[in-house]
Chain A
Amino acid sequence: MKPPLLQVEDLHVWFDLPDGRELHAVRGVSLRVAEGERFGLVGESGCGKTTTILALMGLLPPTASVAGRVVLGGEDMLARGERTLAPHRWRDVAMVFQGAMNAFNPVRRIGAQLVEPMELHGVAEGAAARRRAGELLERVGIPAARANAYPHEFSGGMRQRAAIAMALACNPKLLLADEPTTALDVMVQAQIMELLVALTNELGLALVLVTHDLPIVAQTCKTAAVMYAGELAETGPVETLYHEPRHPYTRLLFAATPDLDDVEGEVVAIPGAPPRLDRPIEGCPFRPRCDRAFAACVNAPRLVAVGDGHLAACHLNAGVAA
């Protein structure tokens, strides 16, 4: 079997709080993403999804400290922090930011802003870079002539497309998309997702899709990981997660998604809120909200294999390991 394109092992992120304490935002996340794979990272707000991928990009603020291994194509990008990460940023790993519609400088033309990463990373310059900017726009479904437009002349969906074009500027192997469809209407959402799927298919790009929108993950991704309180609750093929969840959080998360075929069925919310991360968590972090918590849950569960490529961190799986 080929080694995975991206291998994250035991990634931790801490943030310094102003009062001297720490917030342990990402608590030992391990992921594998194969070449050309579409991988979904789902979870509630504040569970560490965005922090995880910002750590992969090395874009965390000075208040953050990071530990763990992030192996891309055989090389540990985090080995010496920024020094080993910088050569890969945008060249190998590119990102579509959350709220990317607002990620453009309002007073510069879209084309000029697309040229910027190419020149910074020595991919193309001058006329060649401008030609490439036009090609990238065409690639995401915007006429090349629109490179002369200003961001405010684009609609929200077009700006999101342009943001994707910018992520493609240096031919990355891995694209990180942070909530790429938030704040877009459903039609545009569908088009953006179609575009991302087409790009991964045609360019052989791997995609890590961060979202809280489960149906989108179910439609586009082959594998997914469910995050809770900075940890992985469960990871595996999307189909398996949907039909045979082995962690109550995954099950409740899918149950909390309204179903079009079953309009009579109730949408069930998960009561309570995720635990605070600025203090140690004892036992299973989901225990206070779990409908099936039992005595063993006072001990923190480990992520164990429960099926083919399917891992879950829940004591209910004790004795049914694959």
Chain B
Amino acid sequence: MTTAELVEAPPVPVAPPSFFTRLRRSPVLSSRQALVGLGILLLFVLTGIFGPIALPHDASLKVGPVFQSPSLAHPLGTDGGGADMLYLLIDGASVSLLVGFAAAAVSAVIGGLVGLLAGFFGGRTDIALMRLTDYFLVIPDIPLMIVVAALFGRSLTNIILIIGAIYWTSTARLIRAQTKTVRERVYVRRARALGAGNTRLIVRHVLPQVTPLLIANTVLLIAYAIFAETFITFLGLGDPSKISWGRLIENAFQDDAILNNAWWAIVPPGLAVTVVVLACTMTGQAMEDAMNPRLRAGHLSVRRFRLRRWPPGSP
């Protein structure tokens, strides 16, 4: 039988690299900047999730005198209501991060959708959607936030939706540009020639190509969203029933922490916001560097090959 001869020598199976191998080799994780950023983010996210559960009592409980300076019992002192600052900070992390991640997700969904549709269909759809984007781009964000909070009430959901509704414009423009280039690639045109419909083309062929960029952009948006939540809450437009880092700063301001020389009531929440925003920016930028070909100028720097001694050890 001849088929026996054909199957006689099976090719040596080469296992595709495992998920972890690919993760380790990915350009994002081999960048120190991204690793540091991701590490810090992970630390804060874990604090946000498990911190409030681990607290022995309600964070805003009065545990000592007003504006007590840092001590062993209360490492970050107490605030204007006599509550432990460290507990408040841990409790606030969950709200601040929740708003940050959720608002960034809302932005990514709106911006991604607008960008994909505008870039893919082009023509009138493109013009209409991009003019809408321009409109949102020129709305002054702080007055809009104040108006929306006043009209619809001061709830966490509203804050998430306002931030999401304002910050999607840059995402939309970025995704639109990338979609336009992907749409013209040969394999997309081939898929269309084979009879693929628009939905299939977008979901199967275009979306996978723009997703990495969308993710990188979303991580950068988290930084903006956390910052926005902080200043909205500081302006007194946050959810009054929830403690967030912005609320802590606002409380400290209302209770005249500065007059009482209580730096410990202001600096830690401000520092927490700064560090998280920095971590998001570091991660997002490293991801963008790895994924946005235009930022990679390496191919332009020709003639930089190195010389090597060969055989090793020769003069």
Contact = CB atoms under 8 A, between A and B. Distances in A.
A19 interface: yes
Interface string A18-61: 11000000000000000000000000000000000001001111
Contact of B305 (A10, A66, A68): A66
Given A59-B303, A62-B298, A18 B27 contact: yes
Contact of A58 (B25, B299, B305, B310): B305
A12 B298 contact: no
A61 B306 contact: no
B30 interface: yes
B301 interface: yes
B306 A66 contact: yes
B310 A67 contact: yes
Nearest to B299: A61
A78 interface: yes
A65 interface: yes
Question: What is the size category of the interface that chain A forms with chain B?
Answer: 20 to 34
Question: What is the size category of the interface that chain B forms with chain A?
Answer: 10 to 19
Contacts of B30: 18
B27 A66 contact: no
B305 A62 contact: yes
A59 B302 contact: yes
Contacts of A85: 303
A82 interface: yes
A242 interface: no
A59 B24 CA distance: 30
Contacts of B298: 61-62
Contacts of A65: 305-308
A64 interface: yes
Contact of A62 (B24, B301, B310): B301
A207 B309 CA distance: 29
Contact of A81 (B299, B301, B307, B309): B307
Given A18-B25, A19-B25, A12 B303 contact: no
A288 B303 CA distance: 36
Contacts of B24: 19
A14 interface: yes
Given A18-B27, A18-B30, A19-B25, A67 B305 contact: no
Interface string A57-93: 0111110111110000000001011100110000000
B304 interface: yes
A82 B303 CA distance: 7
Nearest to B312: A67
Contacts of A61: 298-299, 301-302, 304-305
Contacts of B309: 67
Contacts of B310: 10, 12, 67-68
Contacts of A62: 298, 301, 304-306
Contact of A64 (B25, B299, B301, B306): B306
A31 B148 CA distance: 76
Interface in B144-178: none
Interface of A: 10, 12, 14, 18-19, 55, 58-62, 64-68, 78, 80-82, 85-86
Given A18-B27, A66-B308, A67-B308, 5 more contacts: A19-B24, A60-B305, A81-B305, A82-B304, A86-B303
23 contacts: A12-B310, A18-B25, A19-B24, A19-B25, A55-B305, A58-B305, A59-B303, A61-B298, A61-B299, A61-B304, A62-B304, A64-B306, A65-B305, A65-B307, A66-B306, A66-B307, A66-B308, A67-B310, A81-B305, A81-B307, A82-B305, A85-B303, A86-B303
